[in-house]
A and B are shown apart, each in its own frame.
Chain A
Amino acid sequence: MKKEFSSEHLLYVKKQRNKRIAILVTQISILVIFLLLWELLTLFNIVDSFLFSSPDRIIKTVSQLYLSGELFLHIGTTLYETIIGFILASLTGTLVAVIFWWSDFLRRVFEPYVVVLNSLPKIALGPLIIIWFGAGTKAIVFMTFLVTVIVTIINMYTGFCEVDKDKILLLKSMGANKGKIFIHLVMPYSIPTFITTLKINVGMSWIGSIMGEYLVSRQGIGYLIVYGGQVFKLDLVMTGTVILCLLAALMYLIVALFEKISRRQK
């Protein structure tokens, strides 16, 4: 369908596009200026590159890590822990939320436990987790899971409860049982909540995995950062942080893409 637009409309569209471009250009400029400033300030010794590192040093550190074959080992380890924890927690949390929605009795029984677990700083369980799961990947995945799962339960359950009561009534009048109400109404209704939860979970699972690696690890980005701090190699700390930023952004983008696809399938 081809439509003729008025010149006013075309002007409006053009204005909107120019605005988007302006935003993008400014965003990129800020990053470039920041990196440039950082590099120059350290180059002329105005700030100490030993304490603050520099873009140049970070690139060198990355290439060193790459040449020694460590780079992808660390990235792979952390990514693995984060993603496995993220998926397990998102699925388990959603499943528990479904059970709570299904059975008011079970929800009321377990509500105080969920509330307490939610308020408890998960890092306090660190020593226990290490003893139970050993000082390795398993413990970190479990930490990630723990940090993420409670938030998932609470978010998803709240989402399920927001379903329009009249629509439930309508389905009941058609003779629908709980299962049918869930499949035909609650599930499709909660897809936006699920995606919001996934977005939050991306952040939560990074917190979990890095926290886990701080506590106990021999490899991973969190390990790089902690180790760098201990031996005062701030290049390593900065490099770890930068890699982390990139990975988190990447994971967020994947979820955002998932959101776009699910919207289109409406």
Chain B
Amino acid sequence: MNSFLKLDNLSLTYHTKNSETIAIQGLEFSVEKGEFVAIIGPSGCGKTSILSLVAGLIKKSGGTITLCGKEITTADDNVGYMLQRDQLFPWLTIEKNVILPLIIKNIKTVKNVDYTYNLLKKYGLYEFRKYYPDQLSGGMRQRAALIRTLSSKPELLLLDEPFSALDYQTRLLVCDDVYKVIKSEKKTALLVTHDISEAISLADKIIVLTKRPAKVKKVYYTDFDKSATPLLRREEKNFSTWFEILWKELNKE
């Protein structure tokens, strides 16, 4: 009953001068604490809008979103958003980039800065803290972006195709990397992607959406070994079975 994140009868309509588009209608799903949930759906079905709504960036047209029993109306401190590309600020060092959320939220205390430095140390970026983003590799930048998201200690991470800008090789490695960090920090994650295999390799639960207006079509619980990281999952036999199931589900009318 008391889910960590709960979307209830959610709807969203976009207005322009000449038209209105119903992007989401009657969307309902929930995410439990510590779960890694992936949302997949046909392109343009409003996947990103769902994340924007949960992040409190846009106003919903109807329904409710509750996080830890509290309704979300504006940007919530308990939510961290990771966008496509790392979005590190090129004029700030890695150190200053990862501290940024603390400054924005006015919580730059010694304790929080220490916590962030520990994250940098733990995930091998501490020696690079004085570097500028363009001096680092794509994978390291992505890790820095993840640490920036974690520095203000959000419980829920929203990932909007965070690997789409990377080349295939890097993508697999970064995906593995990000998964390990999220799991070891015991965060809850909601990922939006158009890449079926990415969803299978990362998620405990996969939500398939319908075409616009977006509704939940079907929910799957993946059955991989808990300790299997994305790279290992890709090697397992049932990976291709899962791919087939989801592929059919997505392309079924």
Contact = CB atoms under 8 A, between A and B. Distances in A.
Contacts of A266: 91, 132
Contacts of A169: 57, 81, 83
Contacts of B80: 173
Interface stretch (B99-107, B200-208, B226-234): B99-107
B49 to A, nearest CB: 13
Contact of B100 (A164, A172, A184): A184
Interface string A172-185: 11111000100011
B51 to A, nearest CB: 9
A173 B81 contact: yes
B75 interface: yes
Nearest to B80: A173
Contact of A171 (B56, B84, B92, B104): B104
Contact of B75 (A164, A175, A184): A175
Contact of B104 (A167, A175, A188, A189): A175
Given A172-B75, A174-B75, A188-B89, A166 B104 contact: no
A170 interface: yes
Contacts of B152: 174
Nearest to A185: B89
A266 B92 CA distance: 8
B57 A166 contact: no
Contacts of B77: 175
Which DSSP category, helix, strand, loop or mixed, fits chain A's interface?
A: helix
A189 B92 CA distance: 11
B91 A188 contact: yes
Interface in B105-136: 105, 132
B56, B91, B152, B158 pick with most chain A CB within 10 angstroms: B91
Contacts of A166: 83-85, 87
Contact of A167 (B55, B57, B87, B132): B87
A86 B89 CA distance: 31
B98 to A, nearest CB: 12
A164 B75 CA distance: 19
Interface in B139-180: 152, 158
Interface in A136-185: 164, 166-167, 169-176, 180, 184-185
Given A174-B101, A174-B152, A176-B104, A167 B74 contact: no
Nearest to B145: A170
Contacts of B158: 173
B42 to A, nearest CB: 23
Contact of A174 (B84, B91, B92, B104): B104
B79 A173 contact: yes
A172 B57 contact: yes
B83 A175 contact: no
B53 to A, nearest CB: 12
A173 B152 CA distance: 12
19 contacts: A166-B84, A166-B85, A167-B87, A167-B89, A170-B83, A171-B104, A172-B57, A172-B75, A173-B56, A173-B57, A173-B81, A174-B81, A174-B100, A174-B104, A174-B105, A175-B77, A175-B105, A184-B100, A184-B104
Interface of B: 55-57, 74-77, 79-81, 83-85, 87, 89, 91-92, 100-101, 103-105, 132, 152, 158
Interface of A: 164, 166-167, 169-176, 180, 184-185, 188-189, 266
Given A169-B57, A180-B104, 15 more contacts: A164-B87, A166-B87, A169-B83, A170-B87, A171-B104, A173-B79, A173-B80, A174-B105, A175-B76, A175-B104, A175-B105, A184-B89, A184-B100, A184-B103, A189-B91
